[in-house]
Amino acid sequence: MACSATTQPLLNFELSHSHQPKRPYSLPLCSFIKKPRLSPKPFFSQSKDYTKINIFSSPSLFSRQKPGSHVAAQSGYSSGEEAESLLPDSAYQEPFSWSSVIFPFLFPALGGLLFGYDIGATSGATISLQSPELSGTTWFNLSAIQLGLVVSGSLYGALLGSLLVYPIADSLGRRRELLIAALLYVLGGVLTAFAPGLSVLLVGRLLYGLGIGLAMHGAPLYIAETCPSQIRGTLISLKELFIVLGILLGYFVGSFQINAVGGWRYMYGCSAPVALLMGLGMWSLPPSPRWLILRAVQGKGSLQELKEKAILALSKLRGRAPGDAASEKQIEDTLISVKSAYMEQESEGNILEVFQGPSLKAFIIGGGLVLFQQITGQPSVLYYAGPILQSAGFSAAADATRLSVVVGLFKLLMTWIAVAKVDDLGRRPLLIGGVGGIALSLFLLCAYYKFLGEFPYVAVAALLLYVGCYQISFGPISWLMVSEIFPLRTRGKGISLAVLTNFGSNAIVTFAFSPLKELLGAENLFLLFGGIALISLLFVALYVPETKGLSLEEIESKILK
């Protein structure tokens, strides 16, 4: 059912903020053109020229204008008339049907669910794999290094995938990248489940990790570039919810199969059917119209052919008739706008252009967020969940799988709160409040280990505060900001570098945790993480902008210039 200006959609998000009349579908789409349009009345009965067109931000394609803002022309008019915005008011909300929005989100989001599932399943699989009675193998007696390779094999595969996709992201395309990720997930899951020996098991873990690297790069790109911008924050944050759901699913399968002989094979193998569903779903979806238009402007294919594909893709994504007139007009105007904006830049980019100009500013913001997400101790703090809850007298802490489910459920609840509020409160308030809570929780953990050991509930409260604040801030918001902050020209490379930064810093923190704990002690380690959290709070306050309600191209033009 199509959403109207008065409809209350999923999660109680209002799709309109005023009662101004809707604009027609045929509004042009994005970017900024320096010269006025030749026709004085292209779409309205007004007589003014419009000098700015926001690429892809037509209400009937990808965007919502920020309330009260104007995309007004700054260049002069020979007539002396005051410049007006092509979209003079942000009240217009793009009509869309939820049936057409759900699947372009759901199938890419399954890539995140499979990433989370690997985390949850591994916790139980490592117990099963090393058990003489339950492993079902003769090679169950793994050394510490071998076990470490099994656990971190997917992580290093994700690192490798992030490196491989960096130079080819734009030529590969978002949809094709997710199809390859699904194939790698299937191969990795099946190979791991049927591994006759450790070497084959490690190859399977590496292949699965390659799928993670591609999926965590392609999923936020595809979702951000195809969904209406008034629900972009909600949908990309929901992808984080899917990761947490995947962790819970992995914990549940692990607890169900923990006493089965060869249960670790089922734990890893259950990912294959979900990956197959993801692949079939992505096969049914169209490519990103933004990507098709970018390729056309770059001269990477037949202009007419790519334009026709973009029209059909847009029609399908918005639940319209194939090749409808509104989509055709939007794509035509978008091509003109993108060409004008693109010609002002270098004719051909290079592999290092993400470190230049607006792209560098975007990388500092996006890369900084995913870096602080890891170095504030997120992997390490959760390692202490068991001992902390055990010290507080929770007998369930002895059961690792049940404890994991409890923590996972709390993570799920807090992530849902972030999803419900990200397009209402905005990105910055959630980040500032959440990171501030992370710092407080880390200092409380430090105090517990230093001189409050007789008050174990302080540690429990600190742990839950950390998990909750992380899930309403760094958890979903970092990846939301990464997906929307980079300019179209370098979006593929930029997100690839952000994914690489995320997995690289995760690996470093995971590796350094044990040596640092022995060197500093638990109390000083949490004090160190707390200090880093304060630095990250300062970074957010000074450098991270608010992007709520802005189209992707408005972010590029208003924030990165």
Q: What is the CATH number of the domain that holds 277?
A: 1.20.1250.20
**312 shares its domain with 431:** no
Does residue 49 lie within any of the structural domains?
no
Does residue 40 lie within any of the structural domains?
no
Return the beta strands (E) in 292-437 as ranges: none
CA proximity to 274, closest of 255, 246, 295, 252: 246
Does residue 542 lie within any of the structural domains?
yes
Q: What is the domain range of residue 236?
A: 97-285
Q: pTM here?
A: 0.68
Does residue 53 lie within any of the structural domains?
no
Residue 272 has what pLDDT? 95
**333 shares its domain with 427:** no
Return d(Cα 85, Cα 71) in angstroms, integer: 5
Does residue 335 lie within any of the structural domains?
yes
**511 shares its domain with 536:** yes
Residue 480 has what pLDDT? 83
Residue 4 has what pLDDT? 37
**363 shares its domain with 491:** yes
518, 401 in Cβ contact below 8 A? Answer: no
Write out residues in the chain with pLDDT < 50, as ranges.
1-92, 347-348, 396-398
**380 shares its domain with 266:** no
Q: 254, 285, 316: which is the final residue of a domain? A: 285
Number of domains in the chain: 3
Does residue 42 lie within any of the structural domains?
no
Q: 244, 261, 285: which is the final residue of a domain? A: 285
Residue 5 has what pLDDT? 37
Residue indicated by tokens 């830049």: 345
**339 shares its domain with 299:** yes
Residue 3 has what pLDDT? 41
Residue 48 has what pLDDT? 36
**208 shares its domain with 239:** yes
**410 shares its domain with 521:** yes
**252 shares its domain with 355:** no
Return d(Cα 228, Cα 95) in angstroms, integer: 9
Residue indicated by tokens 């560098």: 360
HEC letters along 409-462:
HHHHHHHHHHHHHCCCCCHHHHHHHHHHHHHHHHHHHHHHHHHCCCCHHHHHHH
CA distances in angstroms from 133 to 45, 139, 201, 401, listed in the order given: 80, 12, 19, 19
**312 shares its domain with 264:** no
**267 shares its domain with 300:** no
**301 shares its domain with 402:** no
Does residue 59 lie within any of the structural domains?
no
Residue 143 has what pLDDT? 84
**C-alpha angle 406/154/263, rounded to 5°?**
60
Does residue 43 lie within any of the structural domains?
no
Residue 383 has what pLDDT? 58
Instruction: List Cβ neighbours of 37 (8 Å cut-off, separation of 6 or more).
Output: 49, 50, 51
